[in-house]
């Protein structure tokens, strides 16, 4: 018995050292997550007081749920909610294009061309939205390249998507697709690489061509990954890219481009109504949590597995 303990104890000490090493390596990320994701939750207390900048919170009158009742009486909030849901729904509707792009890229046999396309399509993801707006302004403004070219060709109509409220949802969805298509395809390319190659060999022996192999092997192999990402996107429908809509915001499209995140910024930073802005942020977070657990329940029924 003693000898057995002597033999197994060095193994236990080695596992312990590895565990502490992994813990120390992960500690900075855990601290950052706590500092930037959980510690700010303390700020939710401002939603229950009539807080004004410069006045201590202890001296602010208690408001209770008054700011939450104000949520349902604000037409601007309803408009921002509609814009958020509409643009995120368009982004979700366009998400299968990343699957199609990944499949098409995987079928390219020229390695150099494949790497070039993958690199070129991924680069926009690393461009800031300020530069994206600068490019869009250079192309689509009244004096931009496209309108200048149209006038040179004698066309009377001009293309002004930056100031056209009727198409702003579709324009923003197109820009989001252009910026994130290549980056989103990376996940599906990795999923394709994980599909057993023997399935393709067996299909080839059975006489299946490329399209049949894609239909019966690649697409079913990508569906679990696609469903997980789709459910996560649905649970995150109330969260938008604030910097995207901030740089494209202008008075001509204000009613159609103001999303919840921008509404919180306008109410809290521009107007200075910190308690109401905090209440809006809490409402968005709570609804997102409900959506997350709802789609998790749907995933359990459909796939037999949960995400969380």
**Are 238 and 284 within 8 A, CB to CB?**
yes
| pLDDT at 15 (0 to 100) | 55
State which fold the 70-303 domain adopts.
MetI-like fold (1.10.3720)
Q: What is the pLDDT of residues 94-140, one digit of tens each?
A: 999 999 999 999 888 888 998 899 889 999 999 999 999 999 999 98
- Confidence (pTM): 0.80
DSSP state for residue 36 in the 8-state scheme: I
Q: What is the pLDDT of residues 284-299, one digit of tens each?
A: 888 888 888 888 887 7
Residue 162 neighbours by CB distance under 10 Å? 19
d(CA 14, CA 197): 38
pLDDT band with cut points at 50, 70 and 90 for residue 9: very low
How long, in residues, is the chain?
308
Q: Is the pLDDT of residue 7 over 50?
A: no
**Are 34 and 26 within 8 A, CB to CB?**
no
H or E segment to which residue 82 belongs: helix 75-94
| pLDDT at 3 (0 to 100) | 47
**Are 277 and 268 within 8 A, CB to CB?**
yes
Q: What is the pLDDT of residues 143-202, one digit of tens each?
A: 888 888 888 887 776 778 888 889 999 999 999 999 999 999 999 999 998 888 888 888
Q: What is the pLDDT of residues 44-90, one digit of tens each?
A: 898 999 888 888 888 888 988 888 888 888 888 889 999 999 999 99
Q: What DSSP line would sit under 234-253, residue for residue?
A: HHTTT---HHHHHHH--TTT
**Are 167 and 159 within 8 A, CB to CB?**
no
| pLDDT at 101 (0 to 100) | 94
């Amino acid at each position: 018995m003693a000898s057995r303990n002597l033999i197994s104890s060095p193994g236990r000490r080695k596992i312990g050292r590895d565990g502490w090493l992994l813990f120390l390596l992960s500690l900075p990320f855990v601290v950052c997550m706590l500092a930037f994701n959980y510690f700010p939750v303390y700020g939710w207390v401002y939603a229950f007081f009539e807080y004004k900048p410069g006045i201590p919170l202890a001296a602010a009158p208690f408001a209770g749920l008054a700011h939450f009742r104000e949520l349902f009486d604000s037409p601007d909030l309803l408009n921002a909610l509609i814009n958020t849901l509409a643009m995120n729904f368009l982004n979700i509707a366009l998400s299968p294009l990343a699957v199609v792009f990944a499949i098409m890229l995987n079928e390219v046999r020229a390695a150099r061309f494949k790497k070039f396309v993958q690199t070129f399509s991924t680069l926009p993801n690393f461009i800031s939205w300020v530069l994206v707006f600068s490019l869009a302004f250079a192309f689509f403004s009244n004096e931009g390249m496209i309108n200048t070219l149209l006038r040179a060709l004698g066309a009377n109509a001009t293309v002004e998507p930056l100031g056209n409220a009727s198409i702003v949802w579709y324009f923003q969805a197109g820009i989001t697709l252009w910026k994130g298509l290549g980056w989103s395809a990376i996940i599906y390319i990795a999923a394709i690489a994980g599909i057993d190659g023997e399935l393709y060999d067996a299909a080839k022996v059975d006489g299946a061509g490329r399209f049949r192999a894609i239909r019966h092997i690649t697409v079913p192999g990508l569906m679990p990954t696609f469903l997980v990402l789709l459910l996560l996107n649905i649970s995150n429908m109330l969260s938008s890219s604030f910097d995207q809509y901030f740089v494209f915001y202008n008075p001509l499209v204000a009613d159609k481009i103001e999303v919840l995140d921008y509404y919180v910024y306008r109410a809290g930073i521009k107007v200075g109504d910190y308690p109401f802005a905090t209440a809006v942020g809490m409402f968005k977070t709570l609804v997102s949590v409900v959506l997350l657990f709802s789609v998790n329940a749907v995933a359990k029924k459909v796939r037999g597995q949960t995400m969380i």
